[in-house]
Amino acid sequence: MSEATARRGGFTVLVWVYVVLTLAALGRSGYQLATKYDEAPLAYLLSAVAAVVYLVATVALMTHVRRGSRAVALIALSIEAVGVLVVGTLSVLRPDLFPADTVWSAYGRGYLFIPLVLPFVGLWWLRQRSRHEVSS
């Protein structure tokens, strides 16, 4: 297998994980906002924000060859990384702030910690891609 093929395969897996996480976060937050909003509005709104960030990151990664998409992906992944670290830390230190879990609660524990790892994998991929483009 060539290096380019391996890179494409890894990228395909990254995008598919984002697609699945986007759909899961959209479904969960949509259901929570529609049926339980009064129970934990902050938590459910944060899950919706996470879903939108995942959606933007997914589309930007899928269209990374277009002008501006790389910058959008970089911003979305950075927001995602900061969000999961801040919400994750607050949810551990101050659980009273989140009477219900968000996608980013406890660093994404409800999603097998994928929300904690994924933005850093995406940022790493963008950096590798950038290095590859410079050396080509």
Across 75-88, average pLDDT: 97
In the chain, the number of structural domains is 1
Q: Both tokens of residue 88?
A: 């994750």
**Amino acid identity for residue 22 in this structure:** T
Asked if the model's pLDDT at residue 73 lies above 90, the reply is yes
Which domain covers residue 84, as residue numbers? 3-135
Helix axes 69-93, 114-135, angle to 10 degrees: 150
State pTM to two decimals. 0.86
Asked if the model's pLDDT at residue 118 lies above 70, the reply is yes
The pLDDT of residue 44: 93
Tally: H helices and E strands in the chain: 4, 0
CB-based burial, 21-51: b 16+ in 10 Å, e otherwise: bbebbbebbeebeeeeeeebeebbebbbbbb
Query: Which residues have a Cβ under 8 Å from the Cβ of 101 and sit 6 or more positions away?
Result: 43, 91, 109, 110
Per-residue pLDDT reduced to its tens digit, 7-66: 667 888 999 999 999 999 999 999 999 999 999 999 999 999 999 999 999 999 988 767
Q: What is the mean pLDDT of the chain?
A: 88
